[in-house]
C-alpha cells in the first residue's frame, strides 16, 4: 500500500510539471514582463487569446499620470502597415481595444509607453493573439479534466509497469478510456465551438494539438492490441507513456487554426 501511494505521488508530480510546462510555454499564455519609466517598474500582462464577441481589451496598470502610450497592431502573418491605437487613461490604468477579428484570425501587437522623454516598448517581439468563439465551461472543464487524468493514469501505468505492479494494466485501461472521452469526444467538440472545425490535424491539417492526440492514440492502441489474451505488455505501456509525455510537452495550441488573410479584405482601425 505504501509503495502504491509513493507511485501515485510521483505520477501526480510528473503530470503536474508536464501540464504547467505545456501551459506556460504555449502560444496562448499571456506575455508578461516589466518596463521601467521614471524610476518605477510597470508590470505588464498582454493577453494572447480572445474568446467571444467584442474587441480584445489591452489594460496597462500605471498609477503615474505622466505615463501615456499607444498600441501598435497589424494582422498576422502579414506585412501590412502598423496601425496605432491611443491608450486612454481611466484612473490608474491605460486602456485600448484591439479590433475584433474573424474566428482563428490573429493580430500581432506591442505597447509603446512614454513618460516625458523616456520611452519603452513591450514586448520586444510583438505578442500574437488569436480570436475564437467562447467555449462554455461545461465543455472546457470536462475536456481539460479528462486529458489531465489521462496523463496521470498513463504515467501511473508506466511507473507500475516498471515495478511490475499488477494495477498497471488497469491504470492503462482507465487512461485509454479518458483519452477517448477527452481527446476524441470533447476535444473535437471544443475545436468546433471555438473555431468551427471538428478536426484540423492529419489528414486535414497540421494542428499540433489534434496531431498530439492522434499520435498518443496510436501509441496506446498498440498497448490495447497487445493486451489480448493477458499478454505481458510492460514495455508497450512504458513506451506509450513516454510518447505521451514527450508529445504533450509540446506547447498547447501550437500550429493551431489560422485565418488565410488573402481570402479576406483588409482590416481597418477605428
Q: What is the pLDDT of residues 65-107, one digit of tens each?
A: 999 999 999 999 999 999 999 999 999 999 999 999 999 999 9
pLDDT given at position 268: 43
Domain boundary among 76, 108, 132: 132
pLDDT given at position 1: 53
Distance CA 24, CA 6 (A): 27
Please write down the long-range contacts of 162-167, taking CB distance under 8 Å and 24 or more positions apart.
Answer: 162/234, 162/238, 163/3, 163/7, 164/234, 165/3, 165/4, 165/7, 167/4
User: Do 9 and 37 belong together in one domain?
Assistant: no
User: Is 197 within the bounds of a domain?
Assistant: yes
Low-confidence ranges of the chain (pLDDT < 50): 267-270
Total structural domains within the chain = 2
User: Do 45 and 149 belong together in one domain?
Assistant: no
User: Is 153 within the bounds of a domain?
Assistant: yes
User: Is 190 within the bounds of a domain?
Assistant: yes
User: Is 203 within the bounds of a domain?
Assistant: yes
User: Do 38 and 90 belong together in one domain?
Assistant: yes
Report, in angstroms and rounded to the nearest whole number, the Rg of the chain calculated over CA atoms: 23
User: Do 185 and 244 belong together in one domain?
Assistant: yes
Domain of residue 115, residue span: 31-132
Domain boundary among 84, 100, 132: 132
pLDDT given at position 270: 36
User: Do 81 and 169 belong together in one domain?
Assistant: no
Q: CA distances (Å), 19 to each of 22, 50, 213, in order?
A: 5, 21, 15
Domain boundary among 114, 132, 150: 132
Averaged confidence pLDDT in the chain:
90
User: Is 71 within the bounds of a domain?
Assistant: yes
Amino acid at each position: 500500500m505504501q509503495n502504491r501511494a509513493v507511485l501515485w505521488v510521483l505520477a501526480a508530480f510528473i503530470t503536474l510539471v508536464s501540464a504547467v510546462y505545456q501551459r506556460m510555454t504555449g502560444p496562448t499564455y499571456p506575455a508578461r514582463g516589466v518596463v521601467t519609466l521614471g524610476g518605477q517598474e510597470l508590470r505588464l500582462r498582454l493577453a494572447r487569446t480572445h474568446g467571444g464577441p467584442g474587441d480584445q481589451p489591452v489594460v496597462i496598470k500605471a498609477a503615474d499620470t505622466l505615463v501615456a502610450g499607444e498600441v501598435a497592431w497589424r494582422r498576422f502573418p502579414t506585412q501590412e502597415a502598423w496601425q496605432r491605437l491611443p491608450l486612454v487613461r481611466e484612473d490608474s490604468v491605460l486602456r485600448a481595444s484591439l479590433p475584433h477579428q474573424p474566428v482563428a484570425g490573429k493580430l500581432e501587437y506591442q505597447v509603446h509607453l512614454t513618460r516625458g522623454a523616456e520611452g519603452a516598448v513591450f514586448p520586444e517581439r510583438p505578442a500574437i493573439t488569436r480570436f475564437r468563439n467562447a467555449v462554455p465551461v461545461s465543455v472546457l472543464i470536462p475536456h481539460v479534466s479528462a486529458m489531465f487524468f489521462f496523463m496521470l493514469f498513463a504515467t501511473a501505468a508506466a511507473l507500475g509497469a516498471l515495478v511490475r505492479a499488477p494495477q498497471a494494466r488497469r491504470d492503462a485501461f482507465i487512461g485509454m478510456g479518458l483519452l477517448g472521452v477527452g481527446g476524441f469526444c470533447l476535444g473535437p467538440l471544443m475545436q468546433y465551438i471555438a473555431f468551427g472545425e471538428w478536426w484540423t490535424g492529419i489528414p486535414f491539417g497540421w494542428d499540433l494539438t489534434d496531431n498530439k492526440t492522434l499520435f498518443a492514440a496510436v501509441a496506446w492502441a498498440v498497448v490495447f492490441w497487445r493486451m489480448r489474451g493477458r499478454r505481458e505488455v510492460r514495455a508497450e505501456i512504458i513506451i506509450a507513456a513516454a510518447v505521451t509525455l514527450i508529445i504533450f510537452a509540446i506547447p498547447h495550441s501550437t500550429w493551431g487554426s489560422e485565418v488565410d488573410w488573402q481570402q479576406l479584405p483588409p482590416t481597418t482601425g477605428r
